[in-house]
Structure 1
Amino acid sequence: MKEFDYRRADGVPGALALHGAAPEARFLGGGTNLVDLMKTGIERPSLLVDVRALPLDGIEATADGGLRIGATATNSDTAAHPEVRRRYPALSQALLAGASGQLRNMATVGGNLLQRTRCGYFSDATGPCNKRVPGSGCPAIEGEHRNHAILGASEHCAATHPSDMAVALAAFDAVVAYETAEGPGETPLADLYPPVGDTPHVETALPAGALITSVTLPPAPVAAASRYRKVRERASFAFAIGSVAAALEVRDGTVQDVRLAFGAVAHRPWRAQTAEEALAGGPATAEAFAAAADAELAAAEPLPDNGYKVPLMRDLVVSVLTELAEEADA
């Protein structure tokens, strides 16, 4: 591991100043991803700016009926918070599905959004990877890609985003707030992760040196009837091979509102807008759910060994939405 300095920030302005004064500085929250990457030489910061003690861990209702979650709130505290469980149960379920209890106790909301792909080629510092060394190539395209992307990838990168939490946040139009030396800003989560294109090393749209301070969920009554379903290759802690965050409001057998996002199929949490549009105002039936999933997945471009994800995601959508529809009628 490369030698590095460590400083504990005493406030947001101080954290930004420390970060801005050192080349290759990184903000440190729980460190559950960053420290692992430092051990393997993928991340080589000159300075870690510890932001864990900053007063950014609150979870509170907003004036318009939404919910604001501080960036240093742990995954465990967020999952267990009564208002998260009541208003956005899919978010709580996604966090609980995302890691072991020990990791959830350390991992933070802000860090969860910025975790890097678990692609084996990215994690191997001895080989090429366009995320690590732009222009060096993507060996996953011709190599091991069973768990890689089927949507939004390019010839330059087929990695997937590993976050479960971000999938639920995407379904409910979350907005990410941040601070920079020039002042505050915010971006919809939908715009946080740029398209892969030929620049897969550009992983977020945040300004250089930005510190995430909170995530806000706008009011969404439909989110109270939501669910997160994750498929993984073993029952114990493992990253998803496919997941769905869904919310559904049904009245007299007709879909009044629906939210749908996919995980483990793209470089970002994939908001299934085509499927949502297909379902709006239509019948809440398994046949309609399947047709909507097919419409969304028509854009899929699987590689030779990950085509199984297309029927997997179709079945997940039908299963989760059918369960929510049945509960709405009960």
Structure 2
Amino acid sequence: MHTDLFLALLDRDNPRGHPILAALLYAFCPAAARWWLAGAEPVVSFDPLWQALTDLAKGETLKEALLRYGFENLLGNARSYVDEVEAYRRVRPGVFAPETLPFFPGGHLELASRFGHQEAINKLGGRWENFFAYIRAWAFTAQDWETNIRFFAAPAVGAVTRLALMLPGTRRPAWFPALLWTARHGPSATRIVIGLPVVEQAQDQLRFALAQASGQEGNKPWPSPPEVWAVDRLSGFASQDINCAEAVERTSLKLTIPKILSQIHCLLQVTLSPIAIPQRVPTPPNVCKQHCLIVL
């Protein structure tokens, strides 16, 4: 899911037609870019992972969050699920997120236990699989990311922040949501880690390059150069996009990003004309099936 991209499109601080957002959306799906520039309003599907991270950043505990949603009678089921995942992981130490495999016996709720919780589950997208996905994201996925990022000191709780994406020639930044961790290294050094959720470690180089060159919320420079990590939504694996960091440091490659944006924006203008939508998509067809009903 590309929840961060669609949240950026719905951010009222971002003008419609911003070239950076237009380029990111075109890379996701040319048809979606055409509709957005033509005035269509994006619809964000409920994302249990993003919701869990947002709630976690508020400083709540998992129990407090479940009580707030109205799952007070299912706290025992939540505890049992966490215990089942921990036990399943102990016997499969070499497998990332083994609880996502089809052989995992947990993560099911009897119909009788669901009775009387329709209002509560509607707050999690109305689907019961989101209940366990929410718990897993809170109790395991976020911790797996921090373990793979290898913090030497306890980091601040990962927060959902907004990156200021700026390039030469753009008059105002494009605000893009991302995950942010900070950790103190010594009396004056601070490690800053930006996390961009990905699926199956598929990295959008344009998105990662823009994040590497971004500013923090408030359009302020970072106190130290940030690290940009790809955090996998399903496996909990995290990897640093070293090639992207090196690319931004090179002047020649830094200048190619505006050129790419300019070329893509021109293509977007073409999609608004009566000419047919481009027949070739620069991303795999399964990328945009979650929001785009047209398969090119």
TM-score (norm 1): 0.27
Q: Considering fraction of residues, name the structure with more helix.
A: 2
Where relative contact order (Cα < 8 A, 6+ residues apart) is larger, the structure is: 2
Query: Which has a greater percent of strand?
Result: 1
